[in-house]
C-alpha cells in the first residue's frame, strides 16, 4: 500500500514503537534460530526508505546467514589477529569467532560514496544511520532482537574488500539479528528538555 503524507497512522503505536526499541545483544538471542527470509527482506526494504540528500541512497548491506555467519566469523577473527598487534587479546579473538554464530543474520552496514555527486561525507554517513534506525524499528515491530555494533574490524581499512567496499567507502559496523530469548531492560533517557532550546520570539 502506498500512502502519502497525512494523519493516517496510529500515532500512539508509532510513539510506543520508538520508545520500546532497545538494543538486544547476541547473548540474549535464541542462539542460531533463523528468522524467515521474507522478514529480513522487509527489514531491508524499510531501511531502503531512509532519507537521503540528493537521492544518493548510499546505504549498502551485506547479509550473512547460514554458513555465511561462519565465513564472517573466521574472516573477522583472522583479521583482528593479524592487525591488532600489542592490543591482541585471546578473549576478543574468541568473541569475534563466536558472536556471528549466535545470530540468525548479521548485516554489514556499509556506506557507498558517490563519486559523481558533491555532498559532504557526513551526510552520506547520516543517511546510512537513518537506514539503520529503520532496521532497528522494524526489528522491534516484528518482535525481533537486534543491535548496531561498531567493534571488532569495523574501522580496519583492510576489511573493506571483503564487503565489496572501495577505498572511499566505509564499513559502519554490523547489525546483529536474532529471536529474543532474554528481553532488554526498560530504556532510560535523560529528559529531552535538557537538550533543546526553543526560539519563538
Ligand X SMILES: Cc1cc2nc3c(=O)[nH]c(=O)nc-3n(C[C@H](O)[C@H](O)[C@H](O)COP(=O)(O)O)c2cc1C
Site for ligand X, rule CB under 6 A = 22-23, 147-151, 173, 184, 187
- Write down the least CB distance from residue 134 to ligand X, Å: 13
Rounded Cα distance between 105 and 63, Å, is 7
Phi-psi region of 179 (alpha: psi -120 to 50; beta: other; left: phi over 0): beta
- Write down the least CB distance from residue 65 to ligand X, Å: 21
DSSP bridge partners of 110: 60, 171
- Write down the least CB distance from residue 181 to ligand X, Å: 16
- Write down the least CB distance from residue 187 to ligand X, Å: 5
- Write down the least CB distance from residue 165 to ligand X, Å: 18
| 150-157 contacts at long range (C-beta below 8 A, 24 or more positions apart) | 150/174, 152/76, 152/80, 152/92, 152/96, 153/76, 153/79, 153/80, 153/96, 156/79, 156/80, 156/83
Give the nearer residue to ligand X in terms of CB position, either 20 or 37: 20
Give the nearer residue to ligand X in terms of CB position, either 118 or 195: 195
Torsion angle of alpha carbons 66, 151, 51, 22, nearest 10°?
Answer: 80
Give the nearer residue to ligand X in terms of CB position, either 66 or 187: 187
Rounded Cα distance between 101 and 97, Å, is 8
Are the beta carbons of 51 and 130 closer than 8 angstroms?
yes
Give the nearer residue to ligand X in terms of CB position, either 22 or 112: 22
Give the nearer residue to ligand X in terms of CB position, either 40 or 139: 139
- Write down the least CB distance from residue 184 to ligand X, Å: 6
Are the beta carbons of 26 and 177 closer than 8 angstroms?
no
Residues 6+ apart with CB under 8 A from 96: 73, 76, 77, 80, 152, 153
Give the nearer residue to ligand X in terms of CB position, either 114 or 133: 133
Amino acid at each position: 500500500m502506498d500512502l502519502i503524507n497525512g494523519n493516517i497512522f496510529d500515532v500512539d503505536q508509532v510513539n510506543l514503537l520508538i520508545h520500546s526499541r532497545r538494543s538486544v545483544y547476541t547473548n540474549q538471542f535464541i542462539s542460531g534460530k533463523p528468522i524467515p527470509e521474507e522478514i529480513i527482506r522487509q527489514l531491508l526494504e524499510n531501511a531502503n526508505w531512509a532519507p537521503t540528500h540528493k537521492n544518493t541512497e548510499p546505504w549498502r548491506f551485506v547479509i550473512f546467514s547460514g554458513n555465511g555467519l561462519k565465513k564472517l566469523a573466521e574472516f573477522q577473527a583472522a583479521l583482528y589477529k593479524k592487525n591488532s598487534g600489542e592490543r591482541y587479546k585471546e578473549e576478543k579473538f574468541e568473541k569475534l569467532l563466536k558472536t556471528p554464530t549466535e545470530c540468525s543474520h548479521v548485516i554489514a552496514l556499509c556506506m557507498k560514496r558517490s563519486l559523481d555527486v558533491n555532498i559532504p561525507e557526513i551526510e552520506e554517513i547520516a543517511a546510512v544511520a537513518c537506514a539503520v534506525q529503520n532496521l532497528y524499528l522494524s526489528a522491534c515491530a516484528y518482535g525481533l532482537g537486534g543491535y548496531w555494533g561498531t567493534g571488532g574490524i569495523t574501522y580496519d581499512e583492510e576489511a573493506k574488500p571483503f564487503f565489496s567496499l572501495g577505498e572511499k567507502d566505509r564499513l559502519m559496523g554490523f547489525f546483529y539479528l536474532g529471536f529474543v530469548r532474554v528481553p532488554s531492560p526498560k530504556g532510560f533517557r535523560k529528559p529531552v528538555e535538557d537538550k533543546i532550546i526553543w526560539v519563538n520570539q
